[in-house]
Amino acid sequence: MRDQRRARLAAALVATIVAGCGGGGGASGTSSTVDIDGSSTVFQISQAAREAYSAVNPDVTVVVDNHGTGGGFSNYLNGEIDVVDASRPAKPDEEAKAKAQGIPWTRFTVGFDGITVVVHPENTFVKSLTVAQLKAIWEPGSKVKTWKDIDPSWPDRNIVFYSPDGDSGTFEYFTEAIVGKPKQQRDDVQPSSDDNTLVNGVAGDPDGLGYFGYAYFEANASKLRAIPVQNGDGAQPVLPSAATVLDKSYKPLSRPLYIYVKNASLRRPAARGFVSYYLENLEELAKKGGYVPPSPEERDANLKTLSGTGGDAASSAKDAA
């Protein structure tokens, strides 16, 4: 992973030198490069920001990777990146290490997601699942092996489980919300750091069952079926959607999405220009990424926070870079 990153950043450095843009280094080692890594969920929004910003300021190179929220924080603490894409809040130990290493960050809310539980479209018998059933299915040592183990009226066929891997913030959030303990889950799953691999796994398996961010379901809705989640006795099962994520009725799998930006990087014009553009255009970028944008109040709070880090958040992205 790091060898690939170094190769990309070396290429970016060569391009910068050729363009005559030298200068001081950030995490990437060049003033005109912004390096991002982390959540495969938030990747969708940051990638949309990268693509849009390249048309606004092609002189700034933005590199976006997706090695999971945990992987993003790890790379940040190793001094390799400017921005962490995070589908969960930073843990206390991650916060402490960043402070101890003298590399504090600022957090911004960039959208909202509803982790989506999916089956193959041929599976028409699962109409909904309760949180209690999901816990029984996914908890460590689960006795659930077949669909019939969940409901006696369902087929006596083995379920094939697909899940994000251990570095994933989605994995941590889902297991804490459903199982009650983060990173605690049954062992007999097919894990992947690539959400598209999980999509293809369930889409190609009539007995597949998996979960991942809503944007990956929405982009593949023709070959997957989302399962409504019932949060408690007497509650109505709720499907994930922009509306149910925004009004928080899709419980307990709705969650905020963040970027953590190194404060030192925000003092570099290229990084600040990109982050300003990102935050000023979240309405469009979050939607393009497949997620629910922050409210106008949350977007205003982002810009106020950015302004407090120094510089003018409302200055044009082109001028800032």
My answer on whether 220 and 264 are in the same domain is no
């799953």: which residue's tokens? 189
Helix (H, G, I), strand (E, B), or coil: what is residue 301?
Answer: helix
My answer on whether 125 and 193 are in the same domain is yes
The dihedral through the CA atoms of 44, 267, 299, 76 has a sign that is: positive
My answer on whether 176 and 71 are in the same domain is no
Could you list the beta-strand ranges (E) of 39-148: 61-64, 83-86, 105-114, 116-119, 129-130
Residue 227: Cβ within 10 Å count: 21
Half-sphere exposure (CA, 13 Å, Cβ side) for 144? 25
My answer on whether 51 and 136 are in the same domain is no
Mean pLDDT score of the chain, rounded to an integer?
89
pLDDT of residue 258: 98
First to last CA, the chain: 28
My answer on whether 195 and 213 are in the same domain is yes
What single-letter amino acid sits at 84?
V
The CATH code of the domain that includes 171 is: 3.40.190.10
- List residues bridging with 83 in a β-sheet: 36, 261
Q: Strand 129-130 and strand 229-230: pairing?
A: parallel
6 contacts: CB under 8 Å, gap ≥ 6? none
Per-residue pLDDT of 115-130, as tens digits, reads: 999 999 999 999 999 9
- What is the number of domains present in the chain? 2
My answer on whether 214 and 91 are in the same domain is no
My answer on whether 6 and 88 are in the same domain is yes
The percentage of residues in the chain with a pLDDT greater than 70, rounded to a whole number, is 87
Q: What mean pLDDT is predicted for residues 210-235?
A: 96
pTM of the model: 0.82
- Separation between Cα atoms, residue 193 and residue 21, nearest integer Å: 35
For residue 319, pLDDT over 70 is answered with no
Q: 141: which 2 tokens? A: 């040592």
| Angle in degrees, CA 246, 250, 256, rounded to 5 | 50
> What's the domain range around 10?
2-112+259-320
